[in-house]
Amino acid sequence: MSTVHGLDLARKFYEECGRELIARELPDLEDRIAVGLVGEGSECFGFDDDISRDHDWGPAFCLWLPEDVLAANGERLERALAMLPESFEGFGTRMKPEDRMGRVGPLPVEGFYRRFLNVPGCPQTLGEWRAIPEHYLAVATNGEVFCDPLGRFSAIREDLLRFYPEDLRLKKIAARCVAAAQAGQYNLPRMMARHAYTSVSICCARFTEAVISLLYLLNKRYMPFYKWAHAGLARIGSPLAEGVGASLEQLSCLTPLENTSADYAALIEDICQRLADELVEQGLSDSNDPWLYEQGPTVQARIRHEGLKRLPVQFD
């Protein structure tokens, strides 16, 4: 497959075509426009490949402005952007209004964040944080900002990248421990004993998703949309995430007609042991017990916020 990635094309497209256009046609706005590629789409995560090019792919970039500035200058921006080439590096660009899908082109700073977070900037309360699906936080902080002279867009981004408030991170870790234990350590072998193979597959999937989420939380990274969550483990830069990710790949290759309950248990218990060791390493547990169902309450006991602490362990 090709090694051309959308984020690299976007950066080059801006540097070779967009930067000069903005300076020439919009000199009074140049110091208020942030430019980059962040948001929805595999290219914003760097996961795009040849398969990704069947829709909504091609050289493009976002221009973020304060809402009032964009409202007052929208027509001028459109006239300027209409001067961009229709192709770049052999690929069709997608800067025409009908090609943007609301993902590129001029966007309000506040509106961009509100679209994914339901608030115009970094959440300020635990309630606001808890209302946001985690993959939307990943979407709001992925990609790259090429320039931001005003600093307004990047300031919100940097606040978000500091990650969840610690008490909420602990609550989510506790919930994932319990979810992983229920699906993988408890229910999966019981379903194998019943020859309930569809349920085995469900248990395996739920265990895998809970473990992947736990790895992101332990490394203070937002987990992307489920189809990219496993691929993203290799980019965290953690030997634990990479190693457990490889074990999860092995687990997904097991089949209940060809493998035994012991085959599943060997992989699952090894994964849970490594996660328990990491909890101890981070000071979130005093025990290396791989039974993650008991690790959940242990982690939750370290929460300071009384409201979060009182919630059932399985709630995040």
- HEC readout, 230-246: HHHHHHCCCHHHHHHHH
Contacts of 75 (CB under 8 A, 6+ apart): none
* Triad 149, 153, 155: Cα angle to 5°: 90
Contact 220, 237 (CB under 8 A): no
Report which secondary-structure segment, H or E, holds 270: helix 261-281
Per-residue pLDDT, 87: 96
Q: How many helices (H) and strands (E) does the chain have?
A: 16, 6
Contact 295, 218 (CB under 8 A): no
Average pLDDT over residues 292-308: 98
Per-residue pLDDT, 50: 84
Per-residue pLDDT, 3: 78
Contact 285, 276 (CB under 8 A): yes
262: tokens are 């012991």
Contact 23, 40 (CB under 8 A): no
Average pLDDT over residues 219-242: 97
> With 80 as the cut, is the pLDDT of residue 54 above it?
no
pLDDT tens digits, 184-194 = 999 999 999 99
Which amino acid, residue 78? Answer: E
pLDDT tens digits, 245-297 = 999 999 999 999 999 999 999 999 999 999 999 999 999 999 999 999 999 99
Mean pLDDT computed over every residue of the chain: 96
Per-residue pLDDT, 52: 81
Instruction: List the chain domain ranges.
Output: 6-161, 166-310
